[in-house]
Amino acid sequence: MESVGRMLEEILRHYEKKEYGEAEILVDKLLASNPNFHRGWFLKGVILEETGKKDEAEECYQKAGNLFTLMFRLAMQLQNVDAERALIYYERVSLMDPKNNLVWFNKGMLHEKRNELDKARECYRNLEPVREIMSRIVIPLGFMIFLISGGIMMVKRDDKTFASIVFASAVFCLFWLKRDGGKAIRMLLKKTKYS
């Protein structure tokens, strides 16, 4: 699996530089040894499509599995390397899932970075930050409070071993909040600023 990872990194390096010939040779080698590798089929499809072989690309995409996830990951990877190509894939995933806040947020951030404020505004207007606040802040916070309350009750009943596990779980919830909560707040701020 490690050699697959290294080969995949090399394919992506060539792809990012638009060295399509080298990337295609490597992806063909990867698929020859791993014919069910979904990400390999996806990259082969991307390479074929970007070199004008759309029909062949479609055949590869059909073998790739979850195109939304693969295209979204590719767009995120490209956003600092090639914004033009990243925007192509963000546009596609926004059509696949028009309610996905993370897609609109990332796409808006990229437009904003490129000083395309009207396009950024369009993206941010599609955000539904209340949904993100619920899933990224309210639910983890509620779960953490529930765990802490349960841990306190266990300590009072002299079940300190199990209580320590529950408190440790509450700490993980805190990290979950820290990681995801900021993004929900940033989405709300962008929606407010550009509305």
Judgement on whether residues 52 and 1 belong to the same structural domain of the protein: yes
Band (pLDDT 50/70/90 cuts) for residue 2 is low
The last residue of a domain, from among 15, 41, 65: 65
* Whether residues 117 and 61 fall in one domain: no
**Residue 160 shares a structural domain with residue 185:** yes
Q: Does 96 lie in the same domain as 39?
A: no
Burial of residue 156 (number of CB atoms within 10 Å: 0-12, 13-18, 19+): exposed
Q: Are residues 133 and 85 in the same domain?
A: no
pLDDT in tens, 100-154: 999 999 999 999 999 999 999 999 999 999 999 999 999 999 999 999 999 999 9
- Which residue among 108, 127, 146 closes a domain? 127
**Whether residue 170 has pLDDT greater than 70:** yes
186: left (phi over 0), alpha (psi -120 to 50) or beta: alpha
103 & 137 share domain: no
- For residue 156, give its domain range: 129-194
Regarding whether 60 and 5 lie in a shared domain, the answer is yes
Whether 161 and 187 map to the same domain: the answer is yes
Q: Is 107 in the same domain as 78?
A: yes
CB burial of residue 194 (10 Å; 0-12, 13-18, 19+): middle
Mark whether 134 and 123 lie in a shared domain.
no
The total number of structural domains in the chain stands at 3
CATH number, residue 11: 1.25.40.10
* 89 has a pLDDT exceeding 90: yes
Instruction: Look at residues 18, 49, 65 and tell me which one is the last residue of a structural domain.
Output: 65
Report residue 147 CA to chain centroid gap: 29
Question: CB atoms < 10 A from the CB of 163, how many?
Answer: 18
Measured CA to CA in angstroms, residue 5 lies from 11, 37, 47, 66, 86 at distances of: 10, 11, 18, 19, 22
Domain co-membership, 50 together with 107: no
State in Å, rounded, how far the first CA of the chain is from the last one: 47
| Res 48 pLDDT > 90 | yes
Is the same domain home to 111 and 135?
no
